[in-house]
Structure 1
Amino acid sequence: MPDKQGDDQRKDMSEVTSFKRSSLKRTETQEKNTLPTKEVIEQEKRCASEHAS
């Protein structure tokens, strides 16, 4: 009985090795979720402690 999983894996690898990177388009990465600054964190801590009192 042929090794079906092995055949599938070889087929997948041939797809990867024959892929043409030049067919991809250039994109610009845009950061959408920025991390808070130290000042913002401190301000939120002060505000939270005032509301807890």
Structure 2
Amino acid sequence: MSDKPGMPEIEKFGKSKLKKTETQEKNSLPSRETMEQEKQAEES
């Protein structure tokens, strides 16, 4: 547990050192239309 930074180190950390990143959703949910088409395909 000694490898974690202490409160003084956290308090003096500058947010300006962080890089801006763009997040991308990898597993998006299917649309309502897609779900309806799959449901109809299963019933056939």
Identical-pair percentage: 49
Q: SS at the partner of 2:16?
A: helix
The structure in which a higher percent of residues are helix is 1
Shift of 1:15: 2.3
Shift of 1:43: 0.6
Matching residue within 9, 13, 30 for 2:7: 13
1:34 correspondence with 2:38: no
Who wins on radius of gyration, i.e. which is larger?
1
Structure 1 runs of 4+ with >4 Å offset: none
User: Normalised by the size of structure 2, how large is the TM-score?
Assistant: 0.70
Shift of 1:44: 0.8
Question: Which sections of structure 2, spanning at least 5 residues, go unmatched?
Answer: none
Count of matched residue positions in the alignment of Structure 1 and Structure 2: 41
Task: Give the structure 1 partner of residue 18 of structure 2.
Answer: 24
1:45 correspondence with 2:39: yes
